[in-house]
Structures are given as C-alpha cells and as structure tokens.
Structure 1
C-alpha cells in the first residue's frame, strides 16, 4: 500500500478522534487526542498476537518511509515556529530572569541529572544503555510543553506570572534542548562512545550561535517582505516558505534550525507587528499556524502509535519507563527549588507558585519527535518506549489533575 494511503488513514483517524473527544469525552484537545491514540496503540498490541498481517505492513511502512527523518526535517521547524509566533514577548519580558533560569540552567541541570540517574537505573535493570544515549535521553526529555495544560490553568485562574513563566520556559528550553540533542547526536554519528566535552562545546556554540544569528536575519527579511505587501494569502505563504526553507538551509549549514525558528517566530509575532501585518492578515496568519500546529501534533501522536505497534516490548523497558517518571519528578523539583532557595535567590517565586510550576512541567510532542528522529538501534527502541511512558504519564495524569491541584494550592 502506498504511503499516501497511510497519510489518508492518519488524517482520517485524527479527525475521527478529534470529533469523539469534542462530542463525548470533552478533554482538552491535546490530552484527548493523546488518550485516544494511546487506546488505539493498546488495542493494536492486544490483537497483534492474533492477527499479524496488518502489522507486517505497518512495519514495512515505518522502515520504508523513514519516519524519523520526516519528523526531524518537517515537524520540528513548524512546531517551534508556531509556538514562538504565538508567544507575547512583552508579557514574557517582565519575567525574563525567571524564565532564563528555568529554560537555560534548568535544561542543562535536568539533562545531566536525568542522564546520570537513567544510566545507573538502566544498568541496574541489566539493560546497560551507553552514557552517550543517556545524555541524549536527558536532552530530549528535559524540554517542557505546557500546551496541554494552558487552558486548564486559565480556568483555574492562576496568576499571570505562572502562565507566562511556563510558556516562556517551554519556548526557550525547546530551543536549548534541541541544540543539546543535535550536538549529542552529531557526536554519536561521528563514532563517539564516551562524552567528549571540548567536541560537544564546539558543536553547541556552532549550533546555538549560528541558529540565533540566522534566525534574526530570517526574521528581519521576513518582516520586510510582510511589510511591503498587504494580501493575507501572500503573507501566509511567505511565513510557510520561510519556515521550510529556513529549517532546510540551517541543516545544510550545520546550525540550529530549532533556535532559528524560535527567533524568527518571535520576530514575526512581536517585532513591529502593526507595521508588518494588517489586523486581517494577522488573524489569518495566527489561525493558519494555530491550525497547522494542532494537525501536526495530531499526526505526531498517531505516528508514535504506529511505531509502538511494531516494536518488541520488553518488561524491563516498561519498568525502566516507570522508574524514569520518578527521576523526572525529582529532577523537576530540584530544577525549580535549587535556584529558588539559594542565598542569591536566583529564582524569585513564592512556594505556591513554585509548586504549580513544578507540576506544570509536562513533557509532550517535542520529546516524542526527537526520540523518533534517532537512528535505528536497540537503544532507540528502549528510549522510545521510555519516552512514550513518560509523556503518557505527563499528559494523561499530570495534565488532567493540575487544574484541581492548582486551585487547592492557591486557596492555601
């Protein structure tokens, strides 16, 4: 069956699940879609042992279409641009210090903490995951994703600082986490077995510095082009072309397309926006990217469901995933509370705010996209299953309870 038919199936399933969720389940969109995708995976795994023909075809599809390259080359650029374009820089600027501490220091600390803990736990279980893969896992699982809970937190009427901090942290730690992830995977591709700090440092500076500069250049050029035309059809196409072309060129230049898209998105959404777009154009551009982000998240959840079906599950992988949830919760606790309780008071938030920020540190689509982009290996299978378990807990458990918990915390 041609891969085009599978795209039809994915889109149709996404639409069907969205309708079922909206009509009957009534969970926030991302949570509802992930829940139904998870049910599909579980159902498929149950019947897999009784009827194998469709699963053989799915396995061929996953291998032949190389889903990993599709995710890293297509999904990431769109998702990061869309997220940053919808971020209000002027609201975020008031809490920039707190956001920077969580997004920069937090990701670095979390990557190292999770990597070390994951290394020892995996070896204790007899899986013996190499440390370079543990670092890669730490980098891909550390970025947070508040999309699933923002509507819930708004209903809970949390203070503006919490909402803006979670959004700002997610925006920048996505870029930082992807840069660390790409630098580490490039080390792995070069044949490195152990972590080489000087090599990693050079790759990080090249990726991060180049991505920021290139993003600023792209953002300014796009701003000029948008300013010199006033047809929303043309302006929507311009943003689409710049994301696709910019991410592709970044990869060829070996700089961070992720950071370039974040910077370019921030500029489109905030830099002299009233000069670049009319009210009508701004509305069309915003709605287009909002809808595209929703569609890509839907496809991503269904794609991960396809990949999970063709994996050979091992009980140790599942145990490792459950233990990793505890590692992430401890890491998040330290990430927020260590800078908050230092003598310099680096992170200026009170205890109730810190508790909600800790709970709001969900993992989502970005982590799934990154782990799917890894080259095929036995260790990729381990990381994929563990990542899925962590994201499932994060979205389905934390995401559905954070509103109630936040209300209780704020009442104290």
Structure 2
C-alpha cells in the first residue's frame, strides 16, 4: 500500500510540474491531459514493440489499485468536506429549493432519460444491454461531480449566485445518485423489481439518514472546536471527523457523501465564525486547501492513466459518442429547459441555463461507480462508456466553460 501511495504521489508531482512548466492548463485538467497523453504514448509504442515492458508495468500498477475503493472509501470524504468547507451557508440557504430540485428531481429524471435512451440506442451499434444496466449507467453518469465542478469553477469567472447553485447542486446530487445506483444494483443482484415503498424507504434512510448524521457530526465537532484554542488540535479534530465520520456512516448504512457535505457546511460556517481564532482559521483553511489540491491532482492523474486498461472497438467508440450526446441531451432536458422556462422563479442571471447545462461535469465518482459493477461483459461496456463521457466532460466542457460564461451570462 505504501509503495502504491508513493508511486501515485511521485507520478502526480512529476506531471503537475510538466503541466505547470510547459503546458499551462489548470492543474486538475493539466495533470489528466499529461497522464492521458503518457498512457496513449505507451499504447502506441507498444503497438510497434517499443518499450513493451513499460506498458506492462503501468497496467500491473493500475490493476493493483482498487480505484472504486480508493475514491469511494478514501478520497471522496476528504474532497467533499474540503469543498463544502468554503461554501457560505447563508447564501446557499437563499437558493435551497433551486439546489434541492436540481439535485433530487433532476438526478432522478436524468437517470430515466439516459437509461431509456441508451437502451434504445445501444442495439443500433451492436451492443444491446438489458434495461437494468442502462438505468445503472444513467444513475452513475447523471450526478455532476463536485470534485470536477468546483475545481473548474474556480477559474471560470461565473457570477457568485450561479457558481453557488452549480456548486450546491454538485455537492448534493452525487449522494442522490449513489442512492439510486445502490437501489438499482440491489435490483440487479436480487432479480426482483423494487416497490415504490421500498425505494422511498431506502431514499429516506440513506439520504435522510446521511443528512441527519451530518448534522449531529457537525454539531459535535463544533462543540469540540469551541472548547479549545489550539490550531494543531483543531485541524486534527476536523481530519478525524471526516475519516471517522465517513467510516461510521458506512456502518450505519447512511449516505457518507451527504454527511460530509453537511458537516463541512456546519464547520465552515458556524465553526469558522464562532469556534475558531484567526490563527486557527488560517491554518485550517491552508491545510484543507492543500489537501484538496493534492488529492484532486492524484485523482485526475489516475483517471488519465486508467485509459490503458480499457478495450476499445469501433462499436465502443460509436456507443461512446452516442453516450456523450445522450448525457448532454439529458442534462439539457432536466436542467437547461426547466431553468429557461422558470427563469424568474430560479432567480439566476440570463444565460444560466446554458452554463448549468454545459457545466455539468462528470468525474471520478462516475468512474468509481462503474468499476463497482459486478464483473461481466456488461460491466466492461459501461466502464468504457463512462470513461469516455468523463474524459469528454472534463476536457471539452471543462476547458470551454469559462468561454460559455463570458458569452452567455448577463447579470
């Protein structure tokens, strides 16, 4: 495990240096581009029997990493907490119904739209899949990834209210997406369709339990921070809150991602203003910002390197193009159209619908969920499709979202 962590950090540091020194892209995108380029270079060299062993080494290294477990049980809790820590709760509360409707209703509708559309499209390219697998794809690809979204928005220059809604939606809809995915995965395992009552019960238990657990966890941590004044101990308490809280949420079978978001919001707002000295705030912000940047870079490097494990064919390439179009169409129908029709009710600037549609980036969470599917040919197809959508999302949409903001948004 230590060797894997050391290798990841060394590779990430080298690629971050190359990006900063020669490429000049935002760090998250830049390291993924360089990692992706490196993997594709190895594939090309291997095809001509050049440095054959280097590709084999990268493949064996990546297979030794359980990407799904590393992200969902390790990195995700830290990244979500770090992202929520800097969201203003008073501003978030002003857009609570907009964020809630996009995160819950939008994710549910998008799952259905993507699932049904792919179920209809895939037979045309010679890759028919059962409806349940198509719905699973819809559930894992519909949530926007807070890690990708918040990293890109820092440099996009979007108006504050628009940035707040996109960030808030991305922080909460991944928890909803994981609940839907879990319900569908249970259906696949049992072979029995869930009843509405069972689905509602699971949603309340997972999502509602996660929100409640996050409130309790955040309050307890707030009380601990308020009782002392030692930035070393207080930073350690927040780190223990995230690691221990996420592990306990898994044992309680409630949504760990939602719990981390709520705890981060409480500590980042009430904790920051009422339980910390200026010195503690400075060190806490510095610690979590650095940790967020480092983990983001490592995650995007792993996404870039993972391409070497995928098996592509003409059918997969055609299906991937279809999946990209379908996910963009679903995002337009479930987010863009409602915001355009209810523009006054949403209270967002003109052009918000285009930005929210194009800014719906997918990332590591989608890849991790796809990799958690049971082994089989269906899994291999969905992993390849997910990877292509994620890479398109981060590169094509992530690199152009700032231009979309400048061209379309009118305050």
TM-score, normalized by the shorter chain, greater than 0.5: yes
Measure, in 1, the Cα distance between the counterparts of 2:224 and 2:249.
Answer: 20
Matches within 5 A, 1:229-378: 229-340=228-339, 347-349=346-348, 351-378=350-377
CA contact (8 A) 1:140 1:177 kept: yes
Change (3 A) 1:133 1:166: same
Residue 401 of structure 1 is matched in structure 2 by 400
* CA–CA separation in structure 2 for the residues paired with 1:58 and 1:228: 49
In 1, Cα distance between the equivalents of 2:187 and 2:293? 33
Post-superposition offset of 1:325: 1.0
Q: Which runs of 5 or more residues in structure 1 are unaligned?
A: none
Q: For residues 186 and 57 of structure 2, what CA distance do their matches in structure 1 show?
A: 31
In the other structure, the counterpart of 2:26 is: 28
1:72 alignment counterpart = 72
The equivalent residue for 2:9 is 11
Q: Deviations over 1:312-350 (max 9, x none)?
A: 223222221111111111111112244235579653445
Over 3 Å counting, the alpha-carbon distance change for 1:404 and 1:360 in structure 2 is: same
Q: How far 1:384 moved relative to its partner? A: 1.9
262-271 vs 170-179, which moves further: 170-179
| Deviation of the 1:202 alpha carbon | 2.6
Corresponding position of 2:217: 218
Q: TM-score, normalised by structure 2?
A: 0.90
Match of 2:176 in 1: 176
- Report if aligned partners of 2:336, 2:356 keep a CA contact under 8 Å in 1: no
Q: Where does residue 123 of structure 2 map in the other structure?
A: 123
SS in 1 for 2:191: coil
Secondary structure at the aligned position of 2:34 is classed as helix
Query: Is the deviation greater in 90-99 or in 49-58?
Result: 49-58
Q: Is the contact between residue 297 and residue 365 of structure 1 (CA under 8 Å) also seen in structure 2? A: no
Q: For structure 1, which segment, 42-51 or 341-350, has the greater mean C-alpha deviation from structure 2 after superposition?
A: 341-350
Provide closer, same or farther for how the CA distance between residues 284 and 355 of structure 1 changes in structure 2, counting only shifts above 3 A: same
The C-alpha deviation readout for 1:184-229, integer Å capped at 9, x for no partner, is: 33443x4336565444333222211211111111111111111112
Question: Is the contact between residue 100 and residue 169 of structure 1 (CA under 8 Å) also seen in structure 2?
Answer: yes
Q: Distance in 2 between matches of 1:215 and 1:31?
A: 31
| Partners of 1:41 and 1:308 within 8 A in 2 | yes
CA deviation after TM superposition for structure 1 residue 114, in Å:
0.9
Range moving further from structure 2, 397-406 or 219-228: 397-406
Contact 2:351 2:410 in 1 (8 A): no
In the alignment, is the contact (CA less than 8 A) between 2:139 and 2:178 conserved in 1? Answer: yes
| C-alpha distance in 2 between matches for 1:148 and 1:343 | 28
What is the CA-CA distance between 1:57 and the residue it aligns to?
Answer: 4.7
Q: Does the aligned pair in 2 maintain the 1:340–1:348 contact within 8 Å?
A: no
Q: Once the 2 structures are TM-superposed, how far is the Cα of residue 70 of structure 1 from its aligned partner?
A: 2.5
Alpha-carbon separation, structure 2, partners of 1:377 and 1:290: 39
Secondary structure in 2 aligned to 1:229? coil
Per-residue deviation, residues 69-108 of structure 1 (Å, max 9, x unmatched): 2222112222222221221112222222222222222111
Q: CA deviation at 1:45?
A: 2.3
CA shift, 1:253, in A, is: 1.7
Question: What corresponds to 2:155 in structure 1?
Answer: 152
CA 70–350 in structure 1, closer or farther in 2 if over 3 Å, else same: closer
State how far apart, in whole Å, the 2-side matches of 1:373 and 1:317 are. Answer: 20
| Distance in structure 2 (CA, Å) of the matches to 1:281 and 1:174 | 30
Cα distance between partner residues in 1 of 2:344 and 2:180:
27
Aligned residue for 1:101?
101
Q: Structure 1 residues 86 and 140, CA, compared in 2 at 3 Å: closer, same or farther?
A: farther
Contact 1:148–1:395 (8 Å) recurs in 2: no
What RMSD over aligned residues (CA atoms) do the two structures have, in Å?
2.5
Unaligned runs of 5+ in 2: none
